Amino acid sequence: MIGKLDSNELLLGWYLDTDTVEEPKVTVTQEVWQQALEINANKYVDGNFVFEDLRTDEQKANDNNEIANRKSGIAKLKELGLTDAQIKALIGVE
């Protein structure tokens, strides 16, 4: 299995050993590939595939605000007397 990397060692995708893949790339065993998939690896650092949160501070703040707003909205719906099942149906979550 071949991991295609960019110049910053970000993982761009996986290819079969029979594919023609330009550098930068790294050839790995089936076991290493499986481990990388299990951790949702997105970068190759010091000879290992790792998952690294690549969001900017602004993106992280926006995500946290969205989560807080969602929790606040759910709390307000509960205050109105809706059940968890009703709230899930309303927001489209199973």
Per-domain residue ranges of the chain = 2-50, 57-91
In the numeric block, the tokens 């910053």 are attached to: 8
Q: What is the pLDDT of residue 36?
A: 97
Q: How far apart are CA 10 and CA 44, in angstroms?
A: 6
- 22 phi/psi in degrees, rounded to 5: -75, 160
Q: What is the pLDDT of residue 94?
A: 67
- Each residue's pLDDT tens digit, 8-43: 999 999 999 888 899 999 999 999 999 999 999 999
3-state DSSP assignment of residue 88: helix
- Other C-beta atoms closer than 10 Å to the C-beta of 86 total 13
- Each residue's pLDDT tens digit, 43-90: 999 999 999 999 999 999 999 888 898 888 888 999 999 998 998 898
What's the pTM? 0.62
Q: What is the pLDDT of residue 18?
A: 85
**43 forms bridges with which residues in the sheet?**
10, 50
